[in-house]
Amino acid sequence: MSFLLRRLSFYFTAFLIAISFNFMLPRMMPGDPIDALFAAAQGKMDPAQMDAVREMYGFVDGNVFEQYLSYMQSVFTLDLGPSVLMFPIDVTTVVGMSLPWTMFLALGSLIVALILGVTIGTYSSYRREGFFGQFVPPFLAFISNFPYIVTALLLFYFFGLQLELLPLAYTYDPAIDPGFTLEFIGSVAKHAVLPMGSMILVGIATWVFNMRNAMINVLGEDYVTMAEAKGLSSFRVMYRYAGRNAILPVATAIAMAIGFSFAGSIMTEVVFNYQGLGNILLKGIMARDYPLIQAILLILVSAVLTANFVADLLYVWLDPRISK
């Protein structure tokens, strides 16, 4: 138990550091949202109006320490103020709108890539000498080194534009009303194929290699040989005796991968105009929408920390050797 407590306190401290950093970030950088707003308006705004607008958005200078305190307060009350980009809508609302999609995209692709990768990794290490084990992993290493965006663009171009097989944008067909209907779910699935597909393509190799390395270490262990000597079926040996142990080191990597997956989703969302966090993050950055950027970073940090914590729990659960 003290193990978990210690981890928890670590996460909390890390969280504090992260959000403090989050606070400092915009204040260290040049330019403010109003400038950006001006750039976007390309001169259609009267300069005399700028200060008024600045005030409207709440960008008035003040004591940094006071700002910090009120920022902290806003973080813990989840009241992050209005977004600049979508003024006067609350950042919380904006984020709440896109977060589910990003979670769906990032976690969905992570899970699919994980399952596929682990399966392929297990198999390719079991049949290491065969064609599969010799060629599939290097091939995947190759595929996954296309940058996210390029993979996404290529898929977008070929499947969306050329073959017209799959939709080009959005999370679902705007003509359909969201709800628990087959039509809606189908539309969501159809719209997710390309963005998820590109993320899976890029992500899968990591798991193949992680799993393969872990498996190969485990396959040499005595307990696997013993399981074979016991006359168990090779399926049981592969999954219960070898895979079960090989998944352990892979489990720690999952938490880490969540950060990467979110990063990947930023890129893919932009390409596929997927209404997720990444999409608005990038727009928010361009617009210097600090409240929005801060909120999204906050969410990312919390997500990664939570994922790490869950991974810790998972590890404790998976590995009985860790003291409880």
Partner 1 sequence: EIKQGGTLTVPIINTGFVENFNPYTSGGLFEGVLYEPLMVFNNMTGNVEYRLAESAEYSQDLKTITVKLRDGLSWSDGKALTAKDVAFSFTMTKATPAFDQKAIWTTGNLQSVTATDAKTIVFKLNNADSTFIWGLPKYHILPEHIWSKVADKDLPTFTNPNPVGSGPMTDIKYLKPQQMQLCRNANYYLPNRPYIDCITFRSYNDNSQVQPALMKGEIDWGSNFIADIDNTFVATDPKNNHYWYPANDAIHLYVNTKEAPFDDLNVRKALSMALDREEIVDIAAYGYPTANFNAAGIAELYGPYISKDVTAKYKDITKFNPEKAKQLLDAAGLKDLDGDGFRDMTDGKRVEFDINVVNGWTDWIQVVQMVTEYYEEIGIKANVKTVDWAVYDSGLKDSDYKMSINWSMVATNPIEAYQAYFSTSQIGKSWHAGHGVHSPEIDALIDSFGLTNDAQKQQAILDELQEFTAANLPFIPLFSNATWFQYSTAKLVGWPSKENPYVQPVWYDGGKRNLIINNLHLK
Partner 2 sequence: MKEALLEINNLCVDYVSANGVARAVNNVSLTIAPGETLGIAGESGCGKSTLAFAITRLHKAPALISEGEIIYNGRDVLKMSDKELRDFRWNDVSIVFQSAMNSLNPVITIGEQLTDVIVAHKRISFKQAAVKAKELLGIVGIHGDRLKSFPHQLSGGMRQRVVIAIALALEPKLIIMDEPTTALDVVVEREILNELYDLKEKFGFSILFISHDLSLMGEIADRIGVMYAGNLIEIGDAKTVFSKPSHPYTKGLIASFPTIHGPKERLYGIPGDPVNLLRLPTGCNFQDRCADCMDICKKEDPLLAELNVDYHAACHKL
Partner 3 sequence: MNNSITSDANAPVPGHKSEFKKKCHSAWIKTKAFFHGNPPAIIGVSLMTVILLGALFAPVLTTHNPEKRVARPHVAPNAEHVLGSTRNGRDVYSQVLHGARKSLTVALFAGIIAMTIAIAVGVTSGYLGGKIDEWMNFVTNVFLVFPQLPLLIVLAAFLGQVGSMVITVLLGVTSWPWGARVIRSQTMAIRNKEFIISAEVMGESKIRIILVEILPNLISIVFGGFLGTVIYAMGAEAGLGILGLGDATEVSWGSMLYWAQVSSSLYTGAWWEMLVPAIALALTGGALALINMSIDQVSNPKLKTGPHMKLWKKMNRETMKRRGLL
CB of 278 to partner 3, least distance (A): 8
Asked if 150 touches partner 2 (CB under 8 A), the answer is no
| Closest-CA residue to 263 (of 297, 308, 294) | 297
Instruction: Name the minimum Å distance from CB 24 to partner 3.
Output: 11
Out of partner 2, partner 3, partner 1, none, what residue 170 binds, judged by CB under 5 to 8 A for its kind, is partner 1
Piece of 50-58, 139-147, 208-216, 222-230 that binds partner 2 (CB under 8 A): 222-230
Q: Which stretch binds partner 3 (CB under 8 A): 70-78, 116-124, 180-188, 302-310?
A: 302-310
The site partner of 39 among partner 1, partner 2, partner 3, none (C-beta below 5 to 8 Å per kind) is partner 1
Closest of 94, 87, 75 to residue 294, by C-alpha: 75
Of 280, 295, 298, 303, which one interacts with partner 1 (CB under 8 A)? 280
Q: Which of 49, 70, 73, 233 binds partner 2 (CB under 8 A)?
A: 233
294 touching partner 1, by CB under 8 A:
no
160 binds partner 1 (CB under 8 A): yes
* Cα distances (angstroms) measured from residue 197 to each of 159, 202, 204, 246: 11, 9, 10, 26
Select the residue interacting with partner 2 from 47, 179, 231, 235 (CB under 8 A).
231
- In this chain, which of 4, 13, 58, 93 binds partner 3, going by CB under 8 A? 13
Looking at the DSSP bridge assignments, the partners of residue 90 are: 82
- Residue 188 has a CB neighbour count (10 Å cut-off) of 17
**Interface with partner 3, residue 149, by CB under 8 A:** yes
DSSP letter string, 196-242 = HHHHHHHHHHHHHHHHHHHHHHHHTSHHHHHHHHTT--HHHIIIIII
The answer to whether residue 93 forms part of the interface with partner 1 (CB under 8 A) is: yes
| Rounded Cα distance, 37 and 125, in Å | 55
Q: Which residue in 324, 322, 323, 311 sits closest to 247, CA to CA?
A: 311
Q: At what angle do helices 148-155 and 182-219 cross, to 10 degrees?
A: 140
Minimum separation from the CB atom of position 44 to partner 1 (A): 8
Q: Which of 9, 13, 49, 145 binds partner 1 (CB under 8 A)?
A: 49
- Least separation in angstroms between residue 142's CB and partner 1 is 27
Residue 232 near partner 2 by CB under 8 A: yes
DSSP alpha helices (H): ranges in 85-130?
91-126
